[in-house]
């Protein structure tokens, strides 16, 4: 998409509302001498789903890595509930309630479904918590197939079941901010619909999510606000419903209705 309104907004801005749970301000990230993100700024309001859409190579995964602390930014700021995360290590960010479901899911293939889920609560275990039965029951209630396969090795699950396990493991951490990198990647359309229905249900329960997706139509359908990222720059932003109607976004990402 060739956007003429760099950083432009579509419809009503989120500005002027309550302070966001996550705020990213003028974030610059380099890979060696190459700058991958050029001053990205975005907000994620508590209890909302915010999507970042864009083509391959736009910098979407880089953005999540920088927010999570995996890839330190060259400059800019990331704050969680007003607290600056500069210099805060990955483990400490998890302890503060940030959880990332990565594109490759990174499950422990030779461990059972239940053991993978229990590992999701490891940060809470280190803080002295020992009771996770209610959390497991909640995950199994949300994902009945995981209950059926609780003793099965994670590596033997289907792609859709592995994605459910990755989300369930993240929920075991009781995240304040759940970030998901391409949750629909490689899944059949019927499974994609199921995954996005789950995300809508989580939002209804108050879970705050930052969603990176190439499936722009599905992402915008479940989101409150959206950002279009291209070659490391935010080209457009606005309410998700307005972005879904924007002619440039439709032409580049949504196609014929």
Whether residue 215 sits in one domain with residue 91: yes
Sequence-distant (6+) residues with CB within 8 A of 142 are: 168, 171, 198, 201
CA angle 18, 19, 23 (to 5 degrees): 140
Residue 160: how many other CB atoms lie within 10 Å: 18
List the CATH number of the domain containing 58: 3.40.50.300
Residue 154 lies in a domain: yes
Which residues on adjacent β-strands are paired with residue 24? 42, 78
Provide the pLDDT for residue 32.
84
* pLDDT, averaged across the chain: 90
What six digits make up the tokens of 178?
Answer: 């759940």
Asked whether the beta carbons of 242 and 254 are under 8 A apart, the reply is no
Which residues on adjacent β-strands are paired with residue 52? 212, 227
Whether residue 129 sits in one domain with residue 89: no
Provide the pLDDT for residue 205.
92
Instruction: Kindly calculate the radius of gyration of the chain based on its CA atoms and give it in whole angstroms.
Output: 18
Residue 191 lies in a domain: no
Whether residue 126 sits in one domain with residue 86: no
Residue 190 lies in a domain: no
Residue 18 lies in a domain: yes
Give the model confidence (pLDDT) of 36-75 as tens digits.
999 999 999 999 999 999 998 999 999 999 999 999 899 9
Residue 40 lies in a domain: yes
Domain, as residue range, for 78 = 1-97+177-185+196-257
Whether residue 71 sits in one domain with residue 31: yes
Helix (H, G, I), strand (E, B) or coil at 15: coil
Provide the pLDDT for residue 129.
76
Whether residue 118 sits in one domain with residue 89: no
Provide the pLDDT for residue 33.
87
Helix (H, G, I), strand (E, B) or coil at 211: strand
Q: What is the mean pLDDT of each run of 10 residues along the chain (257 residues)?
A: 50 55 97 92 97 93 95 94 94 93 92 95 77 90 95 96 95 95 92 93 94 93 96 96 93 73
Asked whether the beta carbons of 21 and 208 are under 8 A apart, the reply is yes
Whether residue 131 sits in one domain with residue 170: yes
Provide the pLDDT for residue 2.
37
The pTM score is: 0.89
Whether residue 38 sits in one domain with residue 133: no
Whether residue 86 sits in one domain with residue 113: no
Provide the pLDDT for residue 202.
93
Which H helix or E strand runs over 194?
A: helix 189-204
Phi, psi values for residue 102, rounded to 5°:
-75, 165
Whether residue 13 sits in one domain with residue 93: yes
Whether residue 223 sits in one domain with residue 170: no
- CA nearest to 22, candidates 72, 94, 73, 85: 85
Q: How many domains does the chain have?
A: 2
Provide the pLDDT for residue 131.
80
Provide the pLDDT for residue 169.
96
Whether residue 147 sits in one domain with residue 68: no
Return d(Cα 15, Cα 21) in angstroms, integer: 13
Buried b (16+ CB within 10 A) or exposed e, 205-227: eebbbbbbbbbbebbbebbbbbb
């Amino acid at each position: 998409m060739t956007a003429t309104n760099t950083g432009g907004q579509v419809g009503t801005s989120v500005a002027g509302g309550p302070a966001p749970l996550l705020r990213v301000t003028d974030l610059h990230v380099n890979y060696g001498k190459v700058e991958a993100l050029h001053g990205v700024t975005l907000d994620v309001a508590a209890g909302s789903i915010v999507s970042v859409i864009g083509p391959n190579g736009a910098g979407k995964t880089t953005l999540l890595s920088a927010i999570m602390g995996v890839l330190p930014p060259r400059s800019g700021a990331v704050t969680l509930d007003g607290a600056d995360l500069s210099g805060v290590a990955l483990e400490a960010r998890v302890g503060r309630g940030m959880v990332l479901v990565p594109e490759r899911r990174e499950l422990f293939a030779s461990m059972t479904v239940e053991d993978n889920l229990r590992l999701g609560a490891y940060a809470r275990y280190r803080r002295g918590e020992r009771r996770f039965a209610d959390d497991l029951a909640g995950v199994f209630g949300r994902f009945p197939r995981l209950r059926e396969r609780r003793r099965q090795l994670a590596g033997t699950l289907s792609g859709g079941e592995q994605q459910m396990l990755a989300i369930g493991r993240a929920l075991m951490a009781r995240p304040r901010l759940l970030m998901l990198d391409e949750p629909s990647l490689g899944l059949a359309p019927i499974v994609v619909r199921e995954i996005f229905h789950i995300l809508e249900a989580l939002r209804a329960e108050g879970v705050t999510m930052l969603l990176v997706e190439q499936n722009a139509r599905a992402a915008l359908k479940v989101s409150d606000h959206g950002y279009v990222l291209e070659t490391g720059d935010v080209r457009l932003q606005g309410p998700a419903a307005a972005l879904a109607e924007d002619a440039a976004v439709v032409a580049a990402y949504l196609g014929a209705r």
